[in-house]
Structure 1
Amino acid sequence: MKKPQVIVIAFGIFFLFLIQMAGSLVESIYILDLMNTSLDEKAMGLLFFFSPVLLYFYRRKYPLITAWILFGLLFLARGFTPYLNTLGRMLASGIGTGAGLMLFPFLMTARAKDDSSCPNLWTSAGLALAIGLSVFLRTMNYGLEYSLLPEGAWIGWGLGAVMGYFLTRLEWTSPDKVRNNPEPITPAVTGIFLIVALAYFAFSAPAVIARWTEGDYRLIVMAVSLLAVSWVGVSLSKSRLIENIPPTGLLIWNLLFTLSLTMTILAHRVSFPQTPDALAVLVGDPTWLQQIPLILTLLLFPVIFLDLRVFSNRIQQANPTPRDLIPGMLLGSLALIVLVFIQIFTNVWGYVEPVSLWFRNKFWLPYLLMAGLITLIIGRKGLNAQDERVETNSDLSLGWRALLLIIFLGTGGSALYTTRVQTFEPRPNSIVVMTYNIQQANDDFGERSYKEQLALIREVAPDIIALQESDSSRISLNNNDFVRYYAGKLGYYSYFGPKTITGTYGTAILSRYPLQNTRTVFTFSDQDEIGTAEAEIEIGGQLFSVYNVHPDGSDTAMLVWAEALLERSKDKSNVIALGDYNLRDYEEAYQLIASEYTNAWVSVYPTEIGSDGTDMSGENRIDHIFFSKSLKASNPVYILPPQSATDHPVHWAELIR
């Protein structure tokens, strides 16, 4: 196999594993700590990101043995992670993250056998390959990363074996003690970490971008996939197209990308009501003007591959030892952790006072920092010095053409297949509605429960589902999209509800029938952003107005929300307002709603105790189904934890229409 292909494949799998392990580590810590709205010793797991400090004890002896030990740890940690519980995944992914980070400087200083250089263009092609593979693995499994689940763990083992084979094709000898270039390489190494962070935050899972913008999921994932695999192809066959880009052009490209990425988020930023007497804010479908920055971002994002080429070139010119990379790696790890906390704080700003309050509604900030810092480093004097050109102007081999075509067509085909909806016949004279706080698809013990939740939904077969705490399309939950997963597996229509950039905990609506006039309404809040998802659904010639609710905060905030709900739903027939109300029946906001609408459980069981003895009285009941008095409830059911596979009861009822 040609030398470029060895480096591209080795770095492609390495970058993929590093993003997967880092994402799993952050996700596990978040589930164990922040989902309980508190921090404890488990947050110390982030110290795995500082594992490169151990390389200070490395004295340039036995680089081959050291590299293979680190690869072995990464291989085993990546292989076993999908099978473990949350705590086990935290430990395994932490080991994998640490091993991967320590392996990084050895890879950056390795050379293909019988070659004196490690062309930086091929390193950047490795990241492009990693992004293409990641997008494919997520799209094929309805928004969940297939290889990080037990049923797809074989892919991790297989890719690890392939990576191990190609590592045998590299030379691990240490360079001379005297470096070729005295210029510091710390900015370049830090820049590489920021590029990997951008890939982790967004482009390795571009479905999250669709959740920022309510853009077309299929077009977004196919665009990222196409540009990623195209970069690999151009790097291996027509590199002159890339080599001829001047430093000034690269700087302008980075500036435009930073601007478009930031504006993509700011274009959908909501100005929330700041006082109790402020009017509610209605957010409907995005306009075409709002989507212009998104289009530009997708077209411009390959600049990160070119940036990686420049940073890798800087390291190659310096001819460093692995220890020389440590300062930049530690600075990059610190930057990554800070960026992770910033984005998480935009979601949990009401719970980690006082530091988190400042980050309310600043979802855009970490992306501006990442892209902006990369641009500053790129513009640094001397960093754009030309490298030794290794031009490739031959046709791609048949094997590479097949691989890249499989990745792109597999991604595109999966995007189309997994978004299909089924046709359902309406029930005669009734509908079944369900409210389900899925706690990010975790059970009461903080363990994955998406399979159990999906099985329960299938058993009930509701016509309308209101999901709460469904905003998992963010780095805190490893960018997994459970709303897309459930909707795709069920063949339902779906409305995600509040965009992830708003910082809510998610209120999604799934339906067997088309959703009309979807919108989100934000009311005054002082702890969580209160976003109520609304839609109209026509079933059997009858129009229903559906409200998925998940309010929280002070008594004032709850009362303001309840008044807004009644105001927006007045004069509408067949109203169904269901969700996690965070209200008991003795609270004023609850009583205000109950004065206008009928509670499904209480209308059938006035004592609030079911026929099977299920006691939902007093403090036990905060998940409710309210409906217009023209409807009638039959057979309301609560399934309590742990049978509900979450920390809330799942509640459904049949409504006679």
Structure 2
Amino acid sequence: MNISAQGRSIVLGFVRVALIAILFLAFFQLLAEFVETVYAFGLMGTGIPPEIVCVALLLSPILLLIPRRGLPHPALVSLTALVLVARVAEGLLDTRGRMILSGLGLALFLILLPEILRTSFIAATGPEWGSGLALSVLLSILLRALGSGSDITLLPPFQWAGWLLAALGILCLAVVKRGSPLQPATAATGTPRLGFGRTLLMALGSMGVLVLLYFAFTSPAVIARWTEGSYPAVVAVLALAMACYVAVRLLWPSYVVRLGRGWLFVLNLLFVAALVATIAVHQIPFPKEPGGFPRGAPPAGLVGDLLLYLTLVLAPTLMIDAERFAVGLMQRPSSPRSGGLAWLIASLYLLVMIFLQVFTTVYDYFPVVGPLFRDRFWLVYLIAGAACALPALALPSALAPEAQSGTWRLFGRLTAAKSLAVAVLAVLAVGFIGADPAASAAEGNSLRVMTYNIQQGYDANGQRNYAGQLQVIREMNPDLLGLEESDTARIAGGNADVVRTMADALDMYSYYGPTTVTGTFGIALLSRYPIENPRTVFMYSLGEQTAAILADITVSGQPFSVVVTHLGNGGPIIQQEQLLAAITGQTRLVAMGDFNFRPDTEQYRLTTAALEDSWLTRWGLGGNPSQIDPADRIDHIFVSPGTTILDSRYITGPASDHPAMVTEIGW
């Protein structure tokens, strides 16, 4: 092979891996956006939104049952380009437009993926598929690291980065269209087609991999929020594990290709067991009777940490699975209709898994089925993991090793270097972009406290509004900030970490409160001063689980006890009784949050028998500088009796569906 031919082969291999990475990245982004926007309509009410019917778009592979010979080459090119365009264009629209366009982009991808594998349209080699998928995970980790836990390409003014990636993907598509596979893995002449049963297993296995990557591994903030683990450490271990997989797969392939079916199944079992155990040790066994509350969250300790990092180290197992399933589907392609039916079932599995994940938080809104998943967050991941592990038993015993030509080795070194570079950039981004609270703290003789229900980062009109909410907070310039409905590090919130995004932007310390495995809607405490002895206590809940943050801070030598909470609908009196029991004996107390009870309720009277309403202390019954009816107040800041209140007011506006409340304490 002459130099120009070698160079052409390396470039084509490089481009195919890049195209696979960008295409799968677009899939993960579209899926995150679609589920988030459907859920956003649920935020506007208290029931199941009618927009939920749009999830039928996930069943688009049913269209593959129509053409007898599958889709022609020009259609595959067009679908690939349309998926990439849909990904970036949806970010320019309002919530309804985002939902529709991201849903359409997903529908096109789910039609495209079976045909790409059946026809080997982009690549026909396992290493390119496995490396491309791993690179897509690394790119997602990097983009979320740059956005402090949120995908930076979805946040103004950085949406141009998404357009740049889409343009690069379309450029790669143009190159691939003219090129040929580096090492085709086509079936020998006369090899029979893959039967429907095996095709279905391969499709379900492939979808199982994508589900787990979407649920957690493309967004390390999700994993950190399960465990209260170190976000920088989770990013570093996961990113380096993925980069190491690419290096081993391409530079020392025998370690992967000779992995037999039995050993691969064992590796899957170890990974799934570590994953489920990581969640289970943080799952709190809530009593069914109110007598067991208030209840703290027991520490997982060293065992929890070991399980977490074992899960991260074993995460590349998913890449091995994905490669084996892809090779199985490419070497013995099924008939177009048989493949279409298999992928329709796999897409139905994706839809079911999304619902099961959502049930772990909003079980109260889905009678009969929803409550089965209350306090069973681990069960969803066990089901998802089984979809990867069990189909692995139907795989060939091992792969044939690739011919290690000089061109292939050079391609491997360059691809491994590219993956390592993305991993290192992600680790560096977390370190450089993180909050610097020490630079913002200043001693004084007052403390400004703010509570704000941010409605998962959405405004009163149902539009994502991180920037608008940050502007409200910056204008109030609080020293302590309690956030409610802040738990977005789950699929219903697009796997975005709004708490980290805000804490980094405001240079504040942060404590997240309840982990996502407990099924709450989230509370968080941000502070310009170090947060001491933070802990979470839970109250008895018939509906969605509720909790409170308890912590201490010291300002100019003055100690304060701080509470942040969000009670259930109607502010159940038993929850407030249990909260008051948990803070009995605290002095210099500041208790803030969305209490969901008004001043004319028994809950309010019970609370003000022990604490003072800071707004009422400042203004009494006659003053009202805020544009809010005092009788409608459900967001409160209560303080210990005798606390000096310099100011207290509500800030109304469209940035959220709740007003922000600010109280300034003096001494």
**TM > 0.5:** yes
Shift of 1:107: 1.8
CA contact (8 A) 2:194 2:334 kept: no
Aligned counterpart in structure 2 of residue 105 of structure 1, from 102, 110, 114: 114
Residue 652 (str. 1) matches residue 652 (str. 2): no
Q: Could you say which residue in structure 2 is the equivalent of 1:30?
A: 39
- 2-structure distance, mates of 1:549, 1:631: 20
Q: Could you say which residue in structure 1 is the equivalent of 2:95?
A: 86
1:402-481 equivalences under 5 Å are 403-423=418-438, 424-481=440-497
- 2-structure distance, mates of 1:425, 1:293: 36
- 2-structure distance, mates of 1:605, 1:27: 40
CA contact (8 A) 2:237 2:309 kept: no
Q: Could you say which residue in structure 1 is the equivalent of 2:279?
A: 265
Q: Secondary structure at the match of 1:277?
A: helix
User: Which is worse superposed, 131-140 or 292-301?
Assistant: 292-301
Q: Could you say which residue in structure 1 is the equivalent of 2:617?
A: 603
- 1-structure distance, mates of 2:552, 2:429: 29
Shift of 1:187: 0.7
Shift of 1:182: 4.1
Shift of 1:13: 1.2
Shift of 1:462: 0.6
- 1-structure distance, mates of 2:472, 2:298: 31
Q: Could you say which residue in structure 1 is the equivalent of 2:636?
A: 624
Shift of 1:395: 4.5
Structure with the higher fraction of residues in helix conformation: 2
Instruction: Name the amino acid aligned to 1:27.
Output: E
Shift of 1:429: 1.6
Q: Secondary structure at the match of 2:367?
A: coil
CA contact (8 A) 1:52 1:329 kept: yes
CA shift in 2, pair 1:391/1:258, >3 Å: farther
Residue 634 (str. 1) matches residue 646 (str. 2): yes
- 1-structure distance, mates of 2:389, 2:424: 33
Residue 359 (str. 1) matches residue 373 (str. 2): yes
Q: Secondary structure at the match of 1:428?
A: coil
1:58-207 equivalences under 5 Å are 58-60=67-69, 63-111=72-120, 118-168=124-174, 169-170=176-177, 180-184=192-196, 185-207=199-221
CA distances 1:515-551 after superposition (whole Å, capped 9, x unpaired): 1111110111111211101111111111111000111
Q: Could you say which residue in structure 2 is the equivalent of 1:578?
A: 592
- 2-structure distance, mates of 1:13, 1:280: 47
Shift of 1:565: 2.4
CA shift in 2, pair 1:328/1:609, >3 Å: farther
Residue 255 (str. 1) matches residue 264 (str. 2): no
Q: Could you say which residue in structure 2 is the equivalent of 1:53?
A: 62
Q: Secondary structure at the match of 1:637?
A: strand
**How many residues in Structure 1 have an aligned counterpart in Structure 2?**
646
Q: Secondary structure at the match of 1:494?
A: strand
Q: Could you say which residue in structure 1 is the equivalent of 2:4?
A: none
Q: Secondary structure at the match of 1:354?
A: coil
Instruction: Name the amino acid aligned to 2:639.
Output: F
Q: Secondary structure at the match of 2:663?
A: strand
CA contact (8 A) 2:444 2:555 kept: no
CA contact (8 A) 1:83 1:149 kept: no
Q: Could you say which residue in structure 2 is the equivalent of 1:42?
A: 51
- 1-structure distance, mates of 2:563, 2:277: 30
CA distances 1:202-261 after superposition (whole Å, capped 9, x unpaired): 000011000000111101011111111222233333222211222221111111111111
CA contact (8 A) 2:540 2:574 kept: yes
CA distances 1:336-380 after superposition (whole Å, capped 9, x unpaired): 111111111111122232331222111112110011121111123
Q: Could you say which residue in structure 2 is the equivalent of 1:526?
A: 542
Q: Could you say which residue in structure 2 is the equivalent of 1:241?
A: 255
- 1-structure distance, mates of 2:647, 2:110: 55
Shift of 1:568: 2.4
Shift of 1:285: 4.9
Aligned counterpart in structure 2 of residue 15 of structure 1, from 16, 21, 24: 24
- 2-structure distance, mates of 1:179, 1:63: 22
- 2-structure distance, mates of 1:50, 1:110: 21
CA contact (8 A) 2:364 2:371 kept: yes
User: Which is worse superposed, 186-195 or 349-358?
Assistant: 349-358
User: Which is worse superposed, 431-440 or 521-530?
Assistant: 521-530
Instruction: Name the amino acid aligned to 1:142.
Output: S
Q: Could you say which residue in structure 1 is the equivalent of 2:511?
A: 495
Shift of 1:623: 0.1
1:215-226 equivalences under 5 Å are 215-226=229-240
CA contact (8 A) 1:4 1:236 kept: no
Q: Secondary structure at the match of 2:206?
A: helix
Q: Could you say which residue in structure 2 is the equivalent of 1:292?
A: 306
User: Which is worse superposed, 145-154 or 178-187?
Assistant: 178-187
CA contact (8 A) 2:149 2:497 kept: yes
CA shift in 2, pair 1:64/1:189, >3 Å: same
CA shift in 2, pair 1:69/1:452, >3 Å: same
CA contact (8 A) 1:473 1:480 kept: yes
- 1-structure distance, mates of 2:482, 2:566: 10
- 2-structure distance, mates of 1:245, 1:507: 45
CA contact (8 A) 1:195 1:374 kept: yes
- 2-structure distance, mates of 1:187, 1:112: 21
Q: Secondary structure at the match of 1:155?
A: helix
- 2-structure distance, mates of 1:608, 1:286: 51
- 2-structure distance, mates of 1:486, 1:180: 56
Q: Could you say which residue in structure 2 is the equivalent of 1:330?
A: 344
Instruction: Name the amino acid aligned to 1:652.
Output: V
Give me the identity figure in percent.
Answer: 33
Shift of 1:294: 0.8
Root-mean-square deviation over aligned CA pairs: 2.3
- 1-structure distance, mates of 2:240, 2:584: 48
Instruction: Name the amino acid aligned to 2:501.
Output: Y
CA shift in 2, pair 1:112/1:194, >3 Å: closer
CA contact (8 A) 2:36 2:493 kept: yes
CA contact (8 A) 1:272 1:523 kept: no
Q: Secondary structure at the match of 1:151?
A: coil
CA shift in 2, pair 1:195/1:427, >3 Å: same
Q: Could you say which residue in structure 1 is the equivalent of 2:3?
A: none
TM-score by length of 1: 0.94
CA shift in 2, pair 1:54/1:232, >3 Å: same
Q: Could you say which residue in structure 2 is the equivalent of 1:543?
A: 559
CA contact (8 A) 1:469 1:507 kept: yes
Instruction: Name the amino acid aligned to 2:136.
Output: A
Q: Secondary structure at the match of 2:279?
A: helix
User: Which is worse superposed, 536-545 or 274-283?
Assistant: 274-283
CA shift in 2, pair 1:178/1:77, >3 Å: farther
CA contact (8 A) 2:200 2:346 kept: no
Shift of 1:585: 1.2
Q: Could you say which residue in structure 2 is the equivalent of 1:369?
A: 383
User: Which is worse superposed, 46-55 or 387-396?
Assistant: 387-396
